[in-house]
Amino acid sequence: MHQGRMDALETVFPKVEVPRSLLTEKASLTPSDIFGVPVEKLHFEIGFGAGEHLHYIMRENPTHHFIGAEPYMNGMSAFIKGLPTPTPENIRVHADDALMVLNSLKDASVDFLYILNPDPWPKSRHHKRRIVSEQNLAVYARVLKTGGMMIQTTDVDELAEWMLTKTINCPYFEWTAERPEDWKTAPNGWMSTRYENKGKEAGRSQTYLIYHRNDIVVPKGQGVPIPPPKGKPKIY
Ligand SMILES: C[S@@+](CC[C@H](N)C(=O)[O-])C[C@H]1O[C@@H](n2cnc3c(N)ncnc32)[C@H](O)[C@@H]1O
């Protein structure tokens, strides 16, 4: 890792990290607890990579607040290094599993949720690791406000089909597409990441899946972490 990025991790990261002490995974944390000020609009990006999209939406919406989760430290350092000086007050990051933050957030905290080019986990035995799953969709639904938006993208056709099928079968989301152009072309004002552009150069087409959170309430006990099984974990 370049020195500049390491310096950014050392000096800027502590200022923008969601404090670990707040992450109780008890669905009780408000965005204002995190930012220390009232939060009107909250954007949450899961797996932001090097953070190009997150930088872009921050520039476009300077009065909104943003949380990004990315466990890959090279990506995290690139994002942190690219932040303007002085460090904006409206951004927080988490260098680990996004679900630790989402499970801690209170119901109806998030306005925009982005899942952009998630890891495809192509082998069937790894499908359970996919970030769009029935169980995780209940979490996303719980934290999104009614009318909030979830955006999923991918250049892997089989994953696009998987994410779409899982999400339209989930009672809490309405797919906004009316015609093929709606999922085959980027929404207005979209910013393509390097990852997305590389896929296009290699001849892969990007799918854009946009949903609105409807007003169906997630029943208590869903969209909250499942307690780990008791006893010795069975690994193999
Ligand atoms: C294929 S990359 C895409 C990066 C970026 N969204 C883009 O479009 O350029 C997927 C990213 O998701 C991150 N990721 C995977 N599982 C995650 C999780 N549970 N929470 C947060 N990020 C995760 C990975 O570290 C990786 O950087």
- In whole angstroms, what is the distance from residue 81 CA to residue 55 CA? 11
Q: CA-CA-CA-CA torsion for 169, 40, 222, 171, nearest 10 degrees?
A: -20
Nearest to 44 by CA among 23, 67, 60: 67
Cα 69–Cα 124–Cα 184 angle in degrees, nearest 5: 65
Contact 173, 214 (CB under 8 A): yes
> What phi and psi, each to the nearest 5 degrees, are found at residue 197?
-65, -35
What is the structure's pLDDT at 234?
52
Task: Report the CATH architecture of 3-213.
Answer: 3-Layer(aba) Sandwich (3.40)
Q: Which residue has the tokens 């089989």?
A: 158
Where do the H-state alpha helices sit in the chain? 3-11, 13-16, 31-35, 52-60, 73-81, 98-102, 134-143, 157-168, 180-184, 194-201
Contact 110, 65 (CB under 8 A): no
Contact 107, 142 (CB under 8 A): yes
- In whole angstroms, what is the distance from residue 236 CA to residue 232 CA? 12
**Which residues lie closer than 8 Å to 221 by C-beta, 6 or more apart?**
none
What is the structure's pLDDT at 229?
53
Catalytic residue (one of 7, 119, 157, 215): 119
Closest approach atom of ligand 1 to CA 115: 6
Nearest to 182 by CA among 147, 211, 144: 211
Mutate to test the pocket of ligand 1, among 43, 56, 72 (most ligand atoms within 8 A of CB): 72
Query: What is the chain's pLDDT, residue by residue, as a tens digit (236 residues)?
Result: 789 899 999 999 999 999 999 999 999 999 999 999 999 999 999 999 999 999 999 999 999 999 999 999 999 999 999 999 999 999 999 999 999 999 999 999 999 999 999 999 999 999 999 999 999 999 999 999 999 999 999 999 999 999 999 999 999 999 999 999 999 999 999 998 888 899 889 999 999 999 999 999 999 878 776 555 556 555 55
Token pair, residue 181, equals 């152009």
**Which residues lie closer than 8 Å to 32 by C-beta, 6 or more apart?**
38, 39
pTM of the model as a whole: 0.94
Mutate to test the pocket of ligand 1, among 100, 117, 130, 190 (most ligand atoms within 8 A of CB): 117
Question: Taking the domains of the chain in order of start, what are their residue ranges?
Answer: 3-213
What is the structure's pLDDT at 225?
65
What is the structure's pLDDT at 110?
98
What is the structure's pLDDT at 221?
78
What is the structure's pLDDT at 23?
96
119 is a catalytic site residue: yes
What is the structure's pLDDT at 86?
96
